[in-house]
Chains A and B, each alone.
Chain A
Amino acid sequence: MMPILPVILWTDALVFALLGCVAAFVWLTVSREHLRAPWRKVARSTSGMVAATVLACFVAVGLLDCLHYRKALLPEPGKAEQRWSPEVLSALDALAAPLRQRQERTFSAPFAVHGHSKESITRPDGTMAREYPRLKHGGAHLQDPARERGADIAAGASRGAAAAALAWVMLASLLTGVVAAARGSSFAAVSGAAWRGELDVPLRAVLLTAAVILLVAGPLIVLSGRYHVFGTDKVGQDVLYLTLKSIRTGLVIGTVTTLVMLPFALALGLMAGYFKGWVDDIIQYLYTTLSSIPGVLLIAAAVLMMQVYMDARPETFDSVTRRADFRLLFLCVILGVTSWTGLCRLLRGETLKLRELEFVQAARAFGLGPWRILARHVLPNVLHIVIISTVLGFSSLVLAEAVLSYVGVGVDPAMNSFGTMINAARLELAREPVVWWSLGAAFGCMLLLVLAANLFADAVRDALDPRVRADFLRASPWRQLAARTRPATKASS
């Protein structure tokens, strides 16, 4: 076993911090019935739980990709000092090592054994010919691809499906057991009720979703060891690998941005609403000014300036990974800066309402100071808005990343993301025959992620507070990026 050096990148740290917040929140919620009640409602929503199942798979992949490390290098002779490889890898890279390492020269279609375009090849007999070259890795184990390939894929797929079925049975028993234990009824009763769809939690829908996911994932995993199941891109990288790596970027953008902006939005929104007067004037001025700059332009300007800043300090950003990570973090920050205004305005309005409520007045009659009132009486009563805005904002942030990367102010070009994938692939549609798989993979994966996020967000919103409308998010300037007609709402009150 080679020793490894764990590496915690900036965004990793923030992701872990976020996980900590979620864990703390869960711990808090579980012990309080009135906090648990809305989540029970989420748990009863079929679309919400199906979406949550899908999201869980994405999160699992993303988290695996957040565990970074560096491999040990063989020590130089004569030096006892341990040296580490400059390359930063993640747990996902380790698991998907075959995908990462088996690189072709250029494009190849999904499940192809030959290249996508003809090349000049020197035959064993010394003659030159233009033909589709065999791939170095894809289907390399086949002697006669034309004859064997179909059967080989079918065999692989059925092995995968069998493994998936086994995994599903284990998962189904586990979940049913958990539900049965939670309500103190027997395993058989719960599984029967689940099958007939009589449970109040949509266990059947969740298990069906899991079945579909496993049935797709199982064969893909087995086959991806021998083929490029999603094809390869221009430089011969496996598209499945690129897609998997893109998930982390999307998740980080979607969650860390909120984490970054939350303190501002919360602190300023609560203060503006509670203190009113000149504090309110200043904060309102601040967010009106910020939100009046078209978001994409502000982001573009900021990212340009950040590039200048990073270029002027090459010593700080020594490795490619560090550079890309810093840029991702900065993108989160700047997206946060342009998006806190909407939430801040919403929280201010809510606080204005709350401060006039009688329980706050009663607290003031006891002489409680403003900060304690904010912490004890106001904050707990606006938290649901924060949660709703977090889940509602996620999907639009994932979509924004793609557009920003296209515009050239997104993540580092060296970083895998849906945006960079689309950007690289869109020109290839003009090729004959069409190279569609990169785009297709990015499209499918993004649609699944964003759709699941949207459905989950709707379920959460309906359960926590259906009155909170999503339109404060419309103030987020990145909406202007895409071809939308109405990118923003009125910023001043």
Chain B
Amino acid sequence: MTAPLLEIRDLRTCIAAGDRVIRAVDGISLALNRGETFALLGESGSGKSLTALSVMRLLPDAGRVVGGEVRLEGKDLLALPERAMRDVRGRRIGMIFQEPGASLDPVMTVGDQVREVLDRHLGLRGSAADRRVLELFEAVGIPDPRRRMDEYPFQLSGGLKQRVMIAGALACEPELLIADEPTTALDVTIQAQVLGLLRDLQKRTGMAVLLITHDLGVVAEMAHRVAVMYAGELVETAPRERLFTAPAHPYTRKLFASVPGRHLRDAPLAAIGGQVPALWREFSGCRFVERCDHAFEACSNSQPAILQLEGGQAARCHLHDPRFAGRAARAATTVSAPLAAAREPMVAAPLLEVRDLAVHFPICRGVLKRVVGQVRAVDGLSLDLHAGRTLALVGESGCGKTTAGKAMVRLLEPTRGRVLLRGEDLTALGGAALRTRRRDFQIIFQDPFASLNPRMRLAEIVSEGMLALGVGGDAAARDRRVDELLEQVGLSTDMRHRYPHELSGGQRQRIAIARALAVEPKVIVCDEPTSALDVSVQAQILNLLRELQQRLGVAYLFITHNLSVVEFLAHEVAVMYLGRIVEHGGVGQVLESPRHPYTQALLAAVPRFDGQGERLRLRAEGDLPSPANPPAGCHFHPRCAHAQPTCRESYPSTVNVAPGHSVRCVLTGPAAS
């Protein structure tokens, strides 16, 4: 076996935060071979990005590598003088980042930004450089590269910007590409495109890829080998297949179990309780001990070392230590009891009926701000929601799903259409009448850090709705209710005097749920409530939401882009594309036999790790068009693999393909059948 391309030995990196030193990376060792994709998997705060930045020696000012070696073909990068290191960056190691929008210089054309690298490392200038840029842009799949070269980042979509970043990173054909969460900021269909591109490029050039990610799906799709990071340490290293079939470390196992999916529908997700420990403190035992179901005394007394297991697998866990073999067996695995399956048949009358809802935003131009156009964010949306059930509204960013949700709870004024709650038209209500109705419909937001007022105590936050809507009785009764709610969402009642900044993301989201529940709503619009959370925390919140539904009979309109969450939680699914619902039906119908090409592409784009082997590669090409100027006819036809001439002419009408399953596509219409 040849020597590894990149070898990291006992890397330690510290970050100064105020008067504390956080040991963000604490003794990482790994080796990366040529042509290999090595995934570094971890949740936020695990130190995976800082590991990558340490390799590049690009740490922020507060960060410092305090120990270890990073060897590129045997030469220690950490010992190189800065000048020599610069020759490595961009030439031998390329790097791409999470936010393609912020990572490109906004005032320089994208062509120039790539040309700059060519000039720096290869001395390429003038027309030779132009040719190479063109070549690179073609290689990364940028359409019309000659024109794009002279454009600025703000003129490009997110996916294209990431392609430009990749072109810049690959310009000098580096031996190693470090990709730090390269698709996290992108939509699933775009993510599938970018991941496919990275795979193709690797096949062609034979470079090694160090892929930093938190997404198990991405790992399954891309990696040859995987290292799992937790609290600054590697807890497990394994070849991909091995990791996905037989994860060795309890953390890894829990991580897998906490990913929602259809096969787990009727059981609660295995959430990991507690939080990642603070990294400024000293550890006497395993860092995962407080959250581990299998922990025994040795786990809190002695720090586990990395143990080599069979099949190239290694784990940092006492469970695999022969010395503790007897005790480990005694630590029984707790199996959570499946929740009672709640599959009541549909109630006759829907609780919430949305009829032809539209929200248009005017585009104002010119001297007098004349309205020159409309952004049709939501353009004729109809759906029904029954009591105690969950309807998932699925779509990529920019499809109008959040706007629709806000319009339904009257945070935005609809342009037309009606929203009927038990037959009462909410859009016709105003003033006091609307205010009293508001206790029936509430909303939970995406960002747990923006959704709580940092200047208010938790009790004030939770009781605000009761106070505003005049429910919940007098002060003492309200206090009791707050305690009850805190317990209901799994927080302790003595947290009522705390402030939001003392809480973790998951706890904040629990408070947001308690706040919405406080007024006993019939419908809660959940606007991506888990997309800002780590997968293990997401599992907690999803479990909570489902449990509350079963207990309280509240209906959810669940807005999300994450199809695995839909599988877990939803009864019905509506897929949205450019302001309209293109497919609507029961969760089994839509996810298992999708009829609309967009739904199919969306499902195909989701990385899977259930070992189903090679799956249907049906990609949506290109980007989401602007809702200000949607394509004529079917909005999806420019990206559709099955587009027919008729698709360009008129928007297809709704066709019922099965009871409760409707699709708007000519393929399913009478003409196609």
Residues of A bordering B, CB below 8 Å: 33-35, 357-359, 361-368, 372, 376-377, 380-381
Q: Is the CB of A367 within 8 A of B445?
A: no
**A residues in contact with B469, CB < 8 Å:** 366-367
Q: Tell me whether A366 and B465 are in contact in the complex, defined as CB-CB below 8 angstroms, given that A358-B445, A358-B447 are known contacts.
A: yes
Within 8 A of A (CB), among B373-418: 406, 409, 411
Q: Across the interface, do A361 and B411 meet the contact criterion of CB distance under 8 Å?
A: yes
Known interface pairs A361-B411, A362-B515; A377-B468 also in contact (CB < 8 Å): no
Give, as a whole number of angstroms, the nearest-CB distance from A284 to chain B.
13
Chain A: minimal CB distance from B667 (Å): 39
Q: B409-444 toward A: CB 8 Å interface, digit per residue (1/0)?
A: 101000000000000000000000011001000110
Residue of A nearest to B410 (CB): A365
Asked if B512 is at the interface of the complex by the 8 Å CB criterion, the answer is yes
Is B337 close to A, CB under 8 A?
A: no
Apart from A34-B454, A34-B455, A381-B453, 6 more pairs, CB < 8 Å? A358-B445, A358-B450, A361-B445, A362-B515, A366-B438, A376-B456
Residues of B459-508 whose CB lies within 8 A of A: 461, 464-465, 468-469, 499, 501
Chain A residues lying within 8 Å of B289, measured Cβ to Cβ, are none
Chain B residue with Cβ nearest A380: B455
The reply to whether A359 and B450 form a contact with Cβ atoms under 8 Å apart is: yes
Decide if B451 touches A362 in the complex (CB within 8 Å). Answer: yes
Interface residues on B, range: 20 to 34
A and B contact pairs by CB, cutoff 8 A, 23 listed = A33-B499, A34-B454, A358-B445, A358-B447, A359-B450, A359-B451, A361-B443, A362-B445, A362-B451, A362-B516, A363-B453, A363-B468, A366-B438, A366-B469, A367-B434, A367-B468, A367-B469, A376-B453, A380-B455, A380-B456, A381-B453, A381-B454, A381-B455
Give the residues from 144 to 181 in chain B that come closer than 8 angstroms, CB to CB, to chain A. Answer: none
Interface of A is mostly: helix
Whether a CB of chain A sits under 8 angstroms from the CB of B446 is: yes
Interface residue? B566 (CB, 8 A): no
CB distance from B352 to the nearest CB of A (A): 15
Q: Contacting B438 at CB < 8 Å: which of A361, A365, A377?
A: A365
Judge whether B590 is part of the interface by a CB distance below 8 angstroms: no
With A366-B468, A367-B434 known as contacts, the answer to whether A359 contacts B453 (CB < 8 A) is: yes
At the interface, yes or no: B533 with Cβ under 8 Å from chain A? no
A149–B443 Cα distance when bound, in Å, is 83
Q: Tell me the smallest distance from the CB of B478 to a CB of chain A, in Å.
A: 14
Q: Does B519 contact A (CB under 8 A)?
A: yes
Bound complex: CA A358 to CA B450 (Å): 5
B665 nearest CB across to chain A (Å)? 34
Nearest first, the 8 A-B pairs at minimum CB distance are A367-B435, A358-B445, A358-B451, A380-B455, A366-B468, A366-B465, A359-B453, A367-B438
Taking a contact as CB atoms closer than 8 A, the residue among B455, B499, B512 that contacts A362 in the complex is: B512
Which residues of A lie under 8 Å from residue B442 when comparing CB positions?
Answer: 365
Roughly how many angstroms separate A33 CA and B465 CA in the complex, as a whole number?
24
Closest to A44 in B: B19
Q: Which residues on the A side are within 8 Å of B411 (C-beta)?
A: 361, 364-365
Residue of B nearest to A378 (CB): B453
Contact B450–A357 (Cβ < 8 Å)? yes
Contact B446 A358 (CB under 8 A): yes
Task: State A33–B434 Cα separation when bound (angstroms).
Answer: 37
Beta-carbon contact of B454 and A365 below 8 Å? no
Closest to A356 in B: B450
B-side contacts of A377, CB under 8 Å: 453
Does B219 reach chain A (CB closer than 8 Å)?
A: no
Residues of B contacting A357 in the complex (Cβ-Cβ under 8 angstroms): 450-451
B452 adjacent to chain A (CB < 8 Å):
yes
How far is it, in angstroms, between the C-alpha of A114 and the C-alpha of B526 when the chains are bound?
86
Question: Taking the nearest CB of chain B, how far is it from the CB of A257, in angstroms?
Answer: 27
Q: Which residues of chain A come closer than 8 Å to B445, judged between CB atoms? A: 358, 361-362
Q: Which residue of A lies closest to B497 (CB)?
A: A33
Is A365 in contact with B409, judged by CB distance below 8 angstroms? yes
Nearest chain-A residue to B451 (Cβ)?
A358
User: What is the chain B residue whose CB lies nearest that of A34?
Assistant: B499
Contacting B464 at CB < 8 Å: which of A33, A34, A361, A366?
A366
Distance of A33 Cα from B458 Cα, bound (Å)? 14
Residues in A neighbouring B501, C-beta threshold 8 A:
34
Q: How far is the CB of B510 from chain A (nearest CB, A)?
A: 14
Contacts of B515 in A (CB 8 A): 362
Q: A377 to B438, alpha carbons, bound, how many Å?
A: 19
Rounded to whole Å, the gap between the CB of B632 and the closest CB of chain A is 33
* Contact status of A359 and B465, CB under 8 A, knowing A365-B438, A367-B434: no
Within 8 A of A (CB), among B511-538: 512, 515-516, 519
Complex: A366 Cα to B437 Cα, angstroms? 10
A361 and B443 alpha carbons, distance in the complex (Å): 9
B409: chain A residues within 8 A (beta carbon)? 365
Q: Write the nearest CB–CB distance from B62 to chain A, whole angstroms.
A: 14
What is the CB-to-nearest-CB distance from B448 to chain A, in angstroms, rounded to a whole number? 9
In the complex the two chains form, what is the Cα distance from A362 to B460 in whole Å?
Answer: 13
Inter-chain contacts of B454 with A (CB < 8 A): 34, 381
Chain B contacts with A in 557-613, Cβ cutoff 8 A: none
The CA-CA distance from A363 to B463 in the complex, in Å, is 11
**Cα distance, A53 to B479, chains bound together (Å):** 44
Q: Which of B445, B461, B512, B516 has the most CB of A within 10 A?
A: B445
- Kindly list chain A residues whose C-beta atoms are within 8 Å of the C-beta of B456: 376, 380
Instruction: Check B443–A362 contact: CB distance below 8 A.
Output: yes
Roughly how many angstroms separate A367 CA and B453 CA in the complex, as a whole number? 16
CA distance A34 to B502 in the complex (A): 10
**Docked CA distance A358–B519 (Å):** 18
Chain A: CB-nearest residue to B434:
A367
**Across-interface contacts of A376 in B (CB, < 8 A):** 453, 456
Query: How distant is the Cα of A82 from the Cα of B266 in the complex, in angstroms?
Result: 93
Residue numbers in B under 8 Å from A33 (CB-CB): 499
- Complex Cα gap A368–B453 (Å): 14
For residue A372, which residue of chain B has the nearest CB? Answer: B468
CA distance A366 to B447 in the complex (A): 18
Residues in chain B near residue A380, CB distance under 8 A: 453, 455-456
Residues of B105-147 at the interface with A, using a CB-CB cut-off of 8 Å, are none
Q: Which residues of B contact A372 (CB under 8 A)?
A: 468
With a CB–CB cut-off of 8 A, which chain B residues contact A368?
464, 468
Least CB distance, B57 to chain A, in whole angstroms: 26
Most interface-central of A364, A365, A380 (chain B CB within 10 A)? A365
Nearest CB of chain B from residue A458's CB, rounded to whole Å: 17
Give the docked Cα–Cα distance between A33 and B461 (Å): 17
A358 to B444, CA, bound (A): 9
How far does the alpha carbon of A376 sit from the alpha carbon of B460 in the complex, in Å?
Answer: 11
Nearest chain A CB to B578 CB, angstrom units: 23
Query: Which of chain B's residues 72-88 have a Cβ closer than 8 Å to chain A?
Result: none
Are A359 and B452 touching (Cβ within 8 A)? yes
- A-contacting residues, B322-355, CB 8 Å: none
Complex: A380 Cα to B464 Cα, angstroms: 16
